[in-house]
Amino acid sequence: MQSYIKSPSINLDVKRLETRLAEVPDEMKMKLIKRKDGECKPIQCAIARSHTQIITALLMCLQPFSRLELLISTGLTPLHRAAFYGHIRAVKCVLNCLSPEERYKLISKLDEENKTAVHRALQGGSLDTIWVILHCLTIDQRIAILSKLRANGRSIIQEASWLGYSKALYVILQSLPKFTQRIQVTAGRDKFGSTAVQTAALKGFAQTVRVLLTSIPSTQRLAQLMIPSVLSSENYQSNENVSGLHWHTAIHQISQGGFTGTIKVILELLNPDDRMRLLTNEDGYRYRTTMHWAWPSTGEWKQWKQFCTTSLQRSSCTFLVCVTKTAKQLYN
């Protein structure tokens, strides 16, 4: 079969392409467009070069139901490729050729690595592409995409938190107009039982923690920080037979890791009463406060005591000093 579209896909001869496609019977167009030139299909060649006119010509010559079939016929779809390389014009062009229902099916399509197009855009660091993809969806569809767990047990929100992509995380959260929607996606747990804040805290990403907390009302921040991670027995790396074990909150994880900069960000974003409640909150593992965990792991007790004390109201300092004395007695 002679290839009608190999040369136009490269040379941007749109009129010649449209003329030749018009000469092909409808039942043959799909086979022709899906034909590979080596390792590349015409639609993939056009997207790689952001040839939007070629992309439109290739897709619009097909019946509406055939367009989605063409785009999802392989694991790594053309949209995945365009999103990863930040070809924002190509992304817009592909999505504009589909109906709203077809857009959602294409965007939620998983490739060989169990990633959606949003994951690929996140991986490629294209903030504009993330914004375009999410804003072609309804709010409910955005929440569904952002809450969906990959094979590694993390959602897009948790993936961005784990990698410390604070700018991408900001763009993602701003796509949800209501605070309740942002709380919904950030409070979700990964397969290890951790929320997005706990994931970022575990890695010591201060700016990522700041983005997560400032995206929700100040009255809800303490509640997010007080959520304990929940480890199932299959994920708990010990011989103990435990199920649904409540372990560390985000602040306990930061304390154990010694991430002073991150805890500084958290305490700055809380009012004095909430700071006191947070610092004196006991975990459900060994019933220790954040100060108990900071002492044995960091060896910087004076630094922690000075910093945390200055962040509290004077009336709360006495209790905090008592906590420090208790911790010292435990580890002497």
Name all domains of the chain by residue range, CATH numbers in brackets: 1-137 (1.25.40.20), 154-332 (1.25.40.20)
115: number of CA atoms within 13 Å, CB side? 18
Report residue 200: phi and psi, to 5°. Answer: -65, -40
Q: What is the pTM of this model?
A: 0.76
**Confidence at residue 306, expressed as pLDDT on a 0 to 100 scale:** 60
Q: Is the pLDDT of residue 248 over 80?
A: no
- For 29-62, the pLDDT digits (tens) are 777 777 766 556 777 778 777 778 888 888 878 7
Cα torsion 11, 35, 91, 154 to 10°: value is -140
- CA of 198: how far to CAs of 62, 195, 228, 231, in Å? 47, 5, 9, 13
On average, the pLDDT of the chain sits at 76
Question: Where does the pLDDT of residue 259 fall: very low under 50, low under 70, confident under 90, or very high at 90 and above?
Answer: confident
Q: How many CB atoms lie within 10 A of CB 299?
A: 11
Beta-carbon contacts of 82 under 8 Å, excluding residues fewer than 6 positions away, are 47, 50, 90, 91, 94, 129
The mean pLDDT of 236-261, rounded to a whole number, is: 59
- Where is pLDDT greater, at 67 or 253? 67
**Confidence at residue 232, expressed as pLDDT on a 0 to 100 scale:** 40
Q: Is the pLDDT of residue 240 over 80?
A: no
Lowest mean pLDDT among 9-13, 152-156, 168-172: 9-13
Q: What DSSP string describes 179-224?
A: HHHHHHHHS---TTS--HHHHHHHHT-HHHHHHHHHTS-HHHHHHH
- 49 burial (CB, 10 Å; 0-12 / 13-18 / 19+) is middle
- Where is pLDDT greater, at 193 or 200? 200
Question: Where does the pLDDT of residue 103 fall: very low under 50, low under 70, confident under 90, or very high at 90 and above?
Answer: very high
Q: d(Cα 10, Cα 198) in Å, to the nearest integer?
A: 48
Report residue 277: phi and psi, to 5°. Answer: -65, -40
**Confidence at residue 280, expressed as pLDDT on a 0 to 100 scale:** 77
User: Degrees (nearest 5) of the Cα angle 329, 281, 185?
Assistant: 145
Place of tokens 């010990």: 238
**Confidence at residue 235, expressed as pLDDT on a 0 to 100 scale:** 44
Residue among 165, 152, 218 at smallest CA distance from 191: 152
- 214 burial (CB, 10 Å; 0-12 / 13-18 / 19+) is middle
- Where is pLDDT greater, at 224 or 321? 224
**Confidence at residue 185, expressed as pLDDT on a 0 to 100 scale:** 93
Helix axes 88-96, 127-135, angle to 10 degrees: 10
Q: How many CB atoms lie within 10 A of CB 174?
A: 13
